[in-house]
Amino acid sequence: MRIAFLGLGLMGAPMARNLLAAGHALTVWNRSPGKAAPLVQAGAAAAPSAAEAAAGAELVITMLENGPIVEAVLFGGVDAAIPAGSIVADMSSIRPAEAQDHARRLAARGVHHLDAPVSGGTTAATDGTLAIMAGGEAEVFARAEPALRALGRPVLVGPSGAGQLAKLANQVIVGATIGAVAEAFLIAARGGADPARLREALRGGFAESRILDLHAQRMIERDFATRGRCVTHLKDLDNTLDAASRLGLGETPYTAITAGLFRDLIAAEGDPDHSALLLELERRNPARLEETTP
């Protein structure tokens, strides 16, 4: 396919590279033009504006920071440049209501829309193994699916906005589980358990998860180099609270508590990896994970 890829950050750059490797004709754009250089060397074309990148594209993929930025890019010229009948697949994480609004406005121009956020972090983006949660019409998804498969495992979960709801569900589960693992390990270590052996003992039981596997190891090694940004995770949790309110739900305590922990962590530590939620729990307690009490 002729694809335009807009946004070459930590996730977007490796995703664009995988589209090139799959043989697609790729034009890229980024606010900071220098980030396009490695992709140009790999065979992509670079455009000086998002609208010029989208001109003539069959599929426009956006991988941008938040909903307002997606709106500014899409409706700052891309919507007029992309041919009628083409598809916009927004793979950013934004509010479901924003995705639905974008779909309606693009449809008025004859352009199709999928909200298709991803999960898996930079490792999965590089390996082409992202979980891709799509919302939109089945026939539009079927047209975009071959290209999306170069990036990971796409699943159509429902109509417009459903992809973003699925991503929010993912972020609630991931965030709450990171917090639960950090708290459980802190309690066990305080009582004398060795954190590394605790992780080994729990593997394969009902507590097994990617979080126990990857994030617990980062906590043990105190390796909080950013792979999944705290500010991005907090944005998604705040979007979840907004979506729950719009859907008429009453209380969503797990989401609210986890959002509060991330908010305080960011205030104290900046923007480390989201596994650093351990640091916020340590800050609230007279203990550190590596300090055990016999």
Partners of 60 in the β-ladder: 4, 88
Judge contact between 218 and 201, C-beta under 8 A: no
CB atoms within 10 A of CB 256: 14
Query: Is 235 annotated as catalytic?
Result: no
User: Following DSSP, what letter does each residue of 132-179 receive, concatenated?
Assistant: EEEES-HHHHHHHHHHHTTTEEEEEEESTTHHHHHHHHHHHHHHHHHH
What's the CA gap between 207 and 197, in Å, rounded? 14
Catalytic: which of 167, 215, 218, 233? 167
CA dist., res. 291 & res. 294, Å (int):
10
Encoded tokens for 178: 């990171």
3-class secondary structure, 237:
helix
The answer to whether the beta carbons of residues 242 and 171 sit under 8 Å apart is no
Instruction: Count the residues in the chain.
Output: 294
Measured in degrees and rounded to the nearest 5, phi and psi for residue 61 equal -105, 125
Residues taking part in catalysis = 167
